[in-house]
Amino acid sequence: MQELVLNQPVSTARSELVREAQADARREFEERLAECGPLAFRVARGVLRNTADAEDVAQEALLRAYKGFDRLRDHNRFRGWLVRISFRLALDRLRSAKRREQRDQLWAKPVHQQPPMSAEDVAASNQFQAHLDRALEELPEKLRLVLLLSAMDGCTMEEIAATVGVPLGTVKSRIFVARKKLAEKLRCHANTIKMR
Amino acid sequence: MPCEHYKNALIDAAVTGRDLTGAAALTAELRDLRAHLAECVACRAALAEEQSLLAAMDSGLRVAANAEVPPSLLPRVRASLDEAATARPRWSSQWLALAVASTAVAMLFLPVKFRRNNADALSINSVSNLPTVPEVTPTTQTPSLSNPGGRGKLPQKPLASTARNAPLRDESASRRRSPEILVSRDQEALLASYAKQWSSRVRAPLVSSELVEAKLEPLRVPPIQIANLDVKPLAEEGSQ
């Protein structure tokens, strides 16, 4: 009994310390959540093109990030870490959804020759959007992520380099290659340029 | 349609979004392209189309990348974080329950496995003992200590070891019966007669207390006749 009396305050103090550490981690995570939550959603939305799915993926990504927050040595790299988690989860979900869906039927439809439209009109057309989605899916992952981040408002090249963890020159070259490949794929289907 | 020579330069210029008409410093290649565009209507049209395609692509990408964040996202995430925080201790209890359940299952199945192994070992022993059984010849009918008054009488109950071995022996016999051995007809007939003689024999007791009065006659098995092999020379290659 005497031993119990001696040990009890030690264990209580230890559990209080653990509780305090958990509360601190939660507070720190909450601060980052407001800033990075939308980013996780947008990355997932860029991959999935579906708001409901992207919300689910962003939630899962943030939950995983929270569970692994203690193991993240450099908390300044949280942004890039979260982006990668969200991107991976979105890709996984897209792959599993692709198994269920038969999108080939969409491609089987012939592309109609239309008069030239403005950029906004073209982007607004569902057919073009479907082609763009498909072309994006065919891009290599590292190119796709950089292209998505570059399309986000207020995301500079330096931020992308820091997020992805590659040099600035690599980011620029990846964006160039990604845009060129995407344009090639879209050109094949839209038949925009006819060579002499 | 653009000229084939300027095709790649046109695409690169459109992808980079560089302004060819401005006074910005250009490379020699771009200066050449600018000079060509000034006099080639088809290449100018192709560049415009390419720029239009890239603008549409960027517009589509921006739409996807800057989608409005649903207001329910952060509350949902906070709720799931709360749930995860409260669920953490439950994980340990779940693991504990899983460990207890798996131990119980293991405890259930281990004795069965042990019994099976034991049975296999016993059956192997009984099989290996079988041929030696007829070799035991009763010498004299001496009363044993356990059954002093039972001279010349069959025991009312078989011993535990014999009783245990009996079903195992049957099982092992059925196992031995299962694989078929391909033999010639005369050997098969010999084996059948051997088996008939063997089955007609009374099983010899293993313990002296189980001695039977009837005297067993030694088993007589005729030697197996094997015909001489008729070796013939191989046919010539030309005949094939």
Structure confidence by residue, pLDDT tens digits, B127-169: 445 544 444 444 444 444 444 444 444 444 444 444 445 444 5
Q: What is the pLDDT of residue A21?
A: 76
Token pair recorded at residue A97: 């959804």
Which residues, including other chains, have CB under 8 Å from residue B162's CB and lie 6 or more apart? B206, B207, B210
Tell me what the mean pLDDT of segment B25-54 comes to: 84
- Give the residue range(s) of CATH 1.10.10.10 domains in chain A: 127-196
A185 to chain B, any CB pair closer than 8 A? The answer is: no
A37 to chain B, any CB pair closer than 8 A? The answer is: yes
Which residue pairs, CB below 8 angstroms and at least 24 apart, start in B2-8?
B2/A193, B2/A195, B2/A196, B2/B40, B2/B42, B2/B43, B2/B45, B2/B46, B2/B47, B3/A196, B3/B36, B3/B40, B3/B42, B3/B43, B4/A195, B4/A196, B6/B33, B6/B36, B6/B40, B6/B43, B7/A195
Q: What is the pLDDT of residue B15?
A: 86
d(CA A104, CA A106): 5
Q: What is the pLDDT of residue A56?
A: 92
- Considering A99-103, A113-117, A136-140, A184-188, the range whose residues carry the highest mean pLDDT is A136-140
Instruction: Assign B189 a pLDDT band (cuts: 50, 70, 90).
Output: confident
Q: What is the pLDDT of residue B143?
A: 45
Q: How many CB atoms lie within 10 A of CB A110?
A: 6
- Give the residue range(s) of CATH 1.10.1740.10 domains in chain A: 16-108
Taking an 8 Å cut-off on Cβ atoms, the answer to whether B1 and A195 are in contact is yes
The share of chain A scoring above pLDDT 90, in percent, equals 28
- Domain A16-108, CATH class in plain words: mainly alpha
d(CA A78, CA A83): 8
d(CA B139, CA B71): 101
d(CA B136, CA A57): 80
Q: What is the pLDDT of residue B121?
A: 60
Better-scored residue on pLDDT, B182 or B102: B102
Give which of B4, B40, B57 to mutate to test A binding, by max A Cβ within 10 Å: B57
d(CA B174, CA A52): 65
Q: Which helix (H) or strand (E) holds B205?
A: none
Per-residue pLDDT tens digits for A23-60: 887 888 888 888 888 999 999 998 888 889 999 999 99
Mean pLDDT, chain B, rounded, equals 70
d(CA A140, CA A146): 10
Q: What is the pLDDT of residue B110?
A: 76
The share of chain B scoring above pLDDT 90, in percent, equals 0
CA B76 from chain centre, in angstroms, equals: 44
Better-scored residue on pLDDT, A177 or B167: A177
Among the ranges given (A55-69, A168-182, B3-17, B174-188), the one the predictor scored with the smallest mean pLDDT? B174-188
Taking an 8 Å cut-off on Cβ atoms, the answer to whether A41 and B70 are in contact is yes
Could you tell me which of A58, A33, A35, A32 has the C-alpha nearest to residue A45?
A58
Q: Is the pLDDT confidence value at B77 over 70?
A: yes
- Considering A166-180, B2-16, B182-196, the range whose residues carry the highest mean pLDDT is A166-180
Token pair recorded at residue A83: 């982006």
Q: What is the pLDDT of residue A120?
A: 57
The model's pTM: 0.54
The reply to whether CATH 1.10.10.10 applies to domain A127-196 is yes
Q: Which helix (H) or strand (E) holds A193?
A: none
Instruction: Assign A12 a pLDDT band (cuts: 50, 70, 90).
Output: confident
Cβ under 8 Å to B: A residues 104-133:
116, 118-120, 122-123, 128-129, 132
Q: Which residues of B touch A176 (CB under 8 A)?
A: 15-16
